[in-house]
Amino acid sequence: MKGNFKKSLSIFGALSFAFTAGFLLSNVNVYAATNQTLELNKDYYFDLNGDGQAEKIKYTTQVNKDDNDFFNSVSLFINDKNVYTKKLTDIWAKYTVLDIDSSDKALELNLQIGGYSDVMDYSSFQRWNGASIVEFDNNKNKALNYTREYSFSNVKGNGRFNIVVDTPYSLPIGCFYANIPLKLQNNKITTTTGTYNLVGSSKKYKYKAKSNIKVYKKASKKSKVKFTVKKGDKIKMIKIKPMKNVAKRPQGKYGEEKPINAYAYVKTKSGKKGWIYLSKKKSSWGRKMLFKNVPGWG
């Protein structure tokens, strides 16, 4: 009886270990391309540095004692140890786990912190080297310096990825979502093109011309005029081509985007396509509007 009891305990222990190991492994994403946003105060398991061992990861915020709507800092815990803290008074934060380049066997972490209306005050890309967190790029890099939070797409582990940004440029087309292609090389994130597709509701929005607009064959006013959008006609924006690249994007004293010149590739109701010029002298609202109606949100 005693021997059978010990045998039962042994079997139970083995099953418990197998269950625990299976649970942990089911939560580990080893070397696979990922794009997972973590929930606050929730445990996750990832092999962050490619050593074959799963790290337990969680992030928390320290609530402001004077106002519960705000926190004073964001902390990252790995294996229950506080390995990183960013002190900043704000209302939202998010961590995303990514595998931008699968060849290095390490995962990347993206931190974003911001306030009301999804305004972003800080962002950084990080890695865990087995002993500490290393921030290898942040929003001082203009390729990442946007005024609102961004999301990720097309993360395939080949060093290239996209971020979907809310109104990355000040153009006379109101608010819009644009897909910005980026690449990670030598611990630096850069843009890969100067033309950005509009996505989501932005590519479906119909702009009504306030006056006649010339449509060019190429993104140049020196190019051949293909046709003219008449006053009152409606067009859809497919993509934009700013005259200044993202690294030279002008910003005001408080970080706001200054208007720039750009081109937009558009499509008419009849299916005709071409480029229109978006002058920085035009505005989304007020007397100098290029269109009678533009999308806007808070």
- pLDDT of 263 strictly over 50: yes
Structure confidence at residue 255 (pLDDT): 65
| H or E segment to which residue 12 belongs | helix 2-26
Element (H, E) at 17: helix 2-26
Mean pLDDT of the chain: 88
Per-residue model confidence (pLDDT) at position 43 = 95
Q: For residue 105, what pLDDT is reported?
A: 87
CA distance 247 to 225: 30
Closest CA to 238 of 192, 295, 176: 176
Three-state DSSP state, 188: strand
pLDDT digits (tens, 9 = 90+) for 52-105: 999 999 999 999 888 989 999 999 999 999 999 999 999 999 999 999 999 988
Q: Which CATH number fits domain 200-278: 3.20.10.10, 2.40.170.20, 2.30.30.40, 3.30.70.20?
A: 2.30.30.40
Q: Which residues contact 274 (CB under 8 A, 6 or more apart)?
A: 215, 216, 217, 226, 227, 265, 266
Q: Where are the domains of the chain?
A: 28-193, 200-278
Q: How far is CA 115 from CA 42, 101, 118, 126, in A?
A: 22, 30, 6, 21
CA angle 52, 55, 60 (to 5 degrees): 160
In this prediction, residue 98 carries a pLDDT of 96
Per-residue pLDDT reduced to its tens digit, 142-190 = 888 888 899 999 999 999 999 999 998 899 999 999 999 999 999 999 9
Q: How confident is the model at residue 298 (pLDDT cuts 50, 70, 90)?
A: low
Give the model's pLDDT for residue 270. Answer: 96
**pLDDT category of residue 247 using cuts at 50, 70 and 90:** low
Instruction: For residue 212, count CB atoms less than 10 angstroms from its CB and return exposed for 0-12, middle for 13-18, buried for 19 or more.
Output: exposed
> What is the predicted pLDDT for the residue at 44?
94
pTM above the 0.75 mark? yes
For the segment 6-61, what is each residue's pLDDT rounded down to a tens digit?
444 444 444 444 444 444 444 444 434 479 999 999 999 999 999 999 999 999 99
* Contacts with 131 (C-beta within 8 Å, 6 or more apart), sequence order: none
pLDDT band at 210 (very low <50, low <70, confident <90, very high): very high
Query: What are φ and ψ of residue 169, in 5° steps?
Result: -130, 150
